[in-house]
Amino acid sequence: MPQFDNGESLLIASGDFEADFYLASKGEINKVDSFLVERRNAEIPVGFVAAESGNIKTLKKFRHSEFVEEFKKHLSALLAKQPVKEIFLFAPSEMKNELEKALPANLRKNLRVYEGNFHKEHPFKLLEKLASLPE
């Protein structure tokens, strides 16, 4: 298992509409933030089935843009409190490029990306994934 002895590392486990942020350092990993962007319009009552206006792909793209904006806010706040040396991003294929672009340029050079939806995984599973993949 990686020990992160070279300073703080940020692990980000993202789904399509949610993300968890973990700080890892000196053999420890701690969840420091998370958020969820609702997938449906809150004004439509639960259980009520209706076709929202517009194309479903357009709606999904809009929800993803909301998610990316929320991701940027949470990331900025986190990095303002705690500078990190490297970032490990676990993200689905449809989100990884957008999330990479949202990262500060100086951290992109110390970025490793793992494609897939690992949002619901326990942090130890993320660490196992890091340890099993080549540099």
Question: If you average pLDDT over residues 81-91, what whole number do you get?
Answer: 92
d(CA 2, CA 80): 25
Distance from C-alpha of 65 to C-alpha of 98, rounded to nearest angstrom: 9
pLDDT > 60? residue 16: yes
pLDDT surpassing 70 at residue 30 = yes
- Higher-confidence residue: 57 or 111? 111
Indicate the pTM of the whole model: 0.82
Q: What is the sign of the dihedral through the CA atoms of 79, 82, 83 and 86?
A: negative
Task: Place 48 in a pLDDT band, splitting at 50, 70 and 90.
Answer: very low
What domains can be seen in the chain, in order of their start residue? 9-132 (3.30.420.60)
